[in-house]
Amino acid sequence: MWQSNDDRIMDIFDKAKSKNTECFPIICPVCGKQGGHLYLHRYQPEDDRGGMWTWCSVCCNSMHTSAKIPKWWQNLKTIDFDQLAALPDYLENNKADIDEWVNKLLFLDDSNKQR
């Protein structure tokens, strides 16, 4: 079901890293539909290394790599690390919670903390 042969799906992470993005789910850079998602998982608290997943619910392109995790990221407590795999089936099943969490980290924290 999932395909991982189109690097453009990584643009989702590149945009989110710099917080230069619209709300999730975002427009997929591959198919142009509003199905783009992102999840990051920091391996240890305060560690800048972790796992990165981007995927699209519409065209089913996905990518998983290890990555440098941006400072603003916090793991979502309801995501079970043991269920994370290279393919985003588990993440797809939890995408509503994940999108809400990513949007909160991207857009709400700024007004409280960084002034």
Residues making contact with Zn ion (CB under 5 A): 28, 30-31, 56, 58-59
Q: Which is nearer to Zn ion, 59 or 67 (CB)?
A: 59
Minimum gap (Å) between residue 75 Cβ and Zn ion: 25
Minimum gap (Å) between residue 105 Cβ and Zn ion: 22
Helix (H), strand (E), coil (C) string for 8-74: HHHHHHHHHHCCCCCCCCECCCCCCCCCEEEEEEECCCCCCEEEEEEEECCCCEEEEEEEECCCCCC
Minimum gap (Å) between residue 25 Cβ and Zn ion: 10
Q: Which is nearer to Zn ion, 31 or 76 (CB)?
A: 31
Q: Which is nearer to Zn ion, 59 or 75 (CB)?
A: 59
